[in-house]
Amino acid sequence: MEATRIIAIRHGETTWNADGRVQGHTDIGLSDTGRAQAQRLAQALAERDRLDAIYSSDLARARDTAAAVGAAMGVAVQLERGLRERAFGLVEGNTFAGIRERWPEDAERWRRRDPEWRPEGGESLLQFRERITLALSGLAAKNMGKHIAVVAHGGVLDVLYRAATGLGLQDARTWQLGNCTINRLLWTPDGLTLMGWADDQHLQQPAADETFS
């Protein structure tokens, strides 16, 4: 059966990542660290992969990460709003400790990964999974037999990992969702298969334009 190869990427680090703040749909840009990660990712992919298409969430932290990859590989980035992070509405901008202090019942339902819990103005896990599954399936089906990159967010990659491994929404997470790591999936109309996860070797050394003689 013909398949679509997918490289799934979480955006580079932001200051809110470093502070442990919930970003959701809040449009936070990359930090200096995040921009360096994006350059290292772009260099690594350009050296070892050929991509037919690059799709990105339209939020700046993903869009700018994808732009670095696209520039290195000579592939235009196509924005896809459906790849946005889960919307957390009212609680965006807070740390989990802050949420627990101000909204203890919400914090407990979030901690338990209640699939139906929805922060005010946000999405439930069930709604989020449906959005991401539809967006990814549509892009993969449109690129059957090709190799594409999807640049998105930690929550998005969590949904994809669970889908590829058959894990439920409430199963405890034991896998990494690192910024700018390389995660490989295979898609067919039957679903996703995990091919490789959390490759971060390229982040252990500086990109070419960060080295000094």
The residues carrying an active-site annotation are 11, 85
Bridge-based pairing of strands 53-56 and 4-10 is unpaired
The full length of the chain comes to: 213
Q: Nearest to residue 156, comparing CAs of 172, 179, 187?
A: 179
Structure tokens at 111: 């901690």
Using CA atoms, how far residue 165 sits from 45, 79, 160, in Å, is: 24, 27, 9
Q: Nearest to residue 147, comparing CAs of 6, 1, 3, 2?
A: 6
Q: How far apart are the first and last CA of the chain?
A: 50
- Residues with Cβ within 8 Å of residue 157, at least 6 apart in sequence: 8, 10, 177, 183
